[in-house]
């Protein structure tokens, strides 16, 4: 082997261990899941014993009103959660992006919820939502207001509030970082040009933050589709199917209904949804990079 060939292969040699681990840890289970989704598979069987049923699991699911309900819950949950978190997170960042004493302490406090383990968050909120001894109802009671059936009648809303509490900080810190990296002098120029605080936000800050906000929003959306622990602890998907998000339904299908094939097919639906979002995110960043490259090329051409 000559030297140049050796040089060409060296990087691949270094990458090989990582690639092997990836293949075993990632691709094998994934393949297993895809393979299993085509079978009528009971947990007492090995995958080889299970009967091959083609696309039956997928079709059954598509026609299953409970699955559709669950998909609907997931979509609604993700939509509301991400919308509110973006609005509140970006709003807080805009509000707290200033140099006053104690601000750094305040900022640190704001990101605490994100650091708490999801199970603990779930337990905490379940306690606070408790119909009789919960913080909220006791508070309402003390003001003489009627109690609210948080985790019953308004379960989805209550779960959404808990998630907003936990994940708004994520949007907040990323927005704050984006804000603080904005060109200071452009904002000063805007002040001189006559922009009020609101106009600075609308015409300068938000447009310049937009690339970061889009990626942040997509990341949050991907995460929101996968949420499990907090809801599991708070409501276990109930009452009825009102908070049964896909991840919960998958786990119930596998353990309670003992339908591994259907659970696998459902996982694949979720996977496709997430893949779509991930591809959208990468497409967006690629598009941005290529646009930046085009602009650079144009400048060099002029020079």
Partner 1 sequence: MPTIHLDNLIKRYGDLQVLHGVDLQMEDNEFTVLVGPSGCGKSTTLRMIAGLEDVSEGEIYVDGKPVSHLEPKDRDLAMVFQDYALYPHMNVAQNISFALRLAKRPKAEIDKKVREVADMVGLTEFQARKPGALSGGQRQRVAMARALAKDSSMFLFDEPLSNLDAKLRGQMRAELALMSQRVQKNMIYVTHDQIEAMTLADRIVVMHGGYIQQQGTPKELFQKPVNKFVAGFLGMPPMNFLEGDIEDTGAGTFIKGDGFALRLQGERAATAKAHKNKQVTLGIRPSDLNFDADASAEDALSLDVMVSEYVGAQSVLLCRCGPAKVMVEVNSETPVALGQTLTFAVNPNGVHLFDRQTEAAL
Summarize as ranges the residues that interact with partner 1 (CB under 8 A).
183, 185-186, 188-196, 199, 203-204, 207-208, 292, 295-296, 298-299, 302-303
Q: Which pair of tokens denotes residue 31? A: 């393949």
* Shortest separation between residue 64's beta carbon and partner 1, angstroms: 47
User: Shortest gap between Cβ of 200 and partner 1 (angstroms)?
Assistant: 10
| CB closer to partner 1 out of 76 and 296 | 296
- Spatial CA neighbour of 82 closest among 273, 231, 246, 221: 221
Surface-to-core class of residue 208, CB atoms within 10 Å of its CB (0-12 exposed, 13-18 middle, 19+ buried): middle
Question: For the CA atoms of 40, 43, 48, 52, what is the dihedral angle to 10 degrees?
Answer: 0
Q: Which is nearer to partner 1, 55 or 298 (CB)?
A: 298
Query: Tokens in use for 281?
Result: 């995110």
Q: How far is the CB of 203 from partner 1 (least distance, A)?
A: 7
The minimum distance between CB 201 and partner 1, in angstroms, equals 13
Query: CA geometry: angle at 35 spanning 34 and 41, to 5°?
Result: 110
Choice between 24 and 189, CB closer to partner 1: 189
Kindly state the smallest distance separating residue 5's Cβ from partner 1, in Å: 41
- Show the DSSP H helices in the chain as ranges: 3-22, 28-36, 56-63, 65-96, 103-110, 112-115, 118-128, 135-142, 155-180, 184-192, 197-200, 206-225, 229-234, 246-255, 260-302
- Closer to partner 1 at the Cβ: 190 or 241? 190
Closer of 195 and 277 to partner 1 (Cβ): 195
Do residues 163 and 227 make contact, with C-beta atoms less than 8 angstroms apart?
A: yes
User: By C-beta, is 131 or 183 nearer to partner 1?
Assistant: 183
Residue 97 CB, shortest distance to partner 1, in Å, is 17
């Amino acid at each position: 082997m000559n030297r140049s060939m050796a040089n060409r292969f060296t990087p691949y040699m270094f990458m090989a261990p990582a690639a092997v681990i990836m293949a075993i840890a990632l691709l094998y289970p994934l393949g297993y899941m895809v393979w299993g989704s085509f079978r009528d598979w009971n947990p007492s069987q090995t995958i080889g014993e299970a009967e091959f049923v083609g696309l039956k699991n997928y079709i059954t699911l598509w026609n299953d009103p409970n699955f559709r309900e669950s998909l609907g819950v997931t979509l609604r949950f993700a939509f509301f959660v991400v919308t509110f978190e973006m609005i509140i997170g970006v709003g807080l960042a805009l509000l707290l992006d200033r140099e006053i004493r104690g601000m750094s302490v305040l900022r640190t406090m704001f990101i605490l919820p994100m650091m708490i383990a999801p199970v603990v968050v779930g337990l905490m909120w379940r306690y606070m939502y408790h119909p009789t001894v919960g913080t909220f109802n006791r508070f309402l009671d003390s003001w003489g207001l009627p109690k609210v059936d948080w985790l019953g009648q308004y379960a989805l809303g209550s779960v959404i509030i808990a998630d907003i509490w936990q994940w708004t900080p994520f949007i907040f810190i990323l927005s704050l970082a984006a804000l603080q990296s904005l060109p200071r002098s452009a904002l000063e120029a805007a002040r001189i040009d006559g922009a009020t605080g609101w106009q600075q936000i609308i015409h300068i800050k938000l447009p310049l933050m937009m690339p970061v906000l889009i990626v942040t929003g997509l990341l949050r959306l991907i995460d929101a589709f996968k949420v499990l622990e907090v809801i599991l602890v708070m409501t276990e998907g109930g009452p009825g199917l009102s908070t049964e998000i896909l991840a919960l339904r998958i786990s119930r299908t596998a353990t309670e209904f003992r339908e591994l094939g259907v659970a696998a097919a459902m996982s694949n639906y979720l996977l496709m949804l997430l893949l779509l979002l991930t591809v959208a995110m990468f497409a967006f960043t690629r598009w941005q990079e290529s646009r930046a490259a085009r602009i650079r090329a144009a400048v060099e051409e002029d020079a």
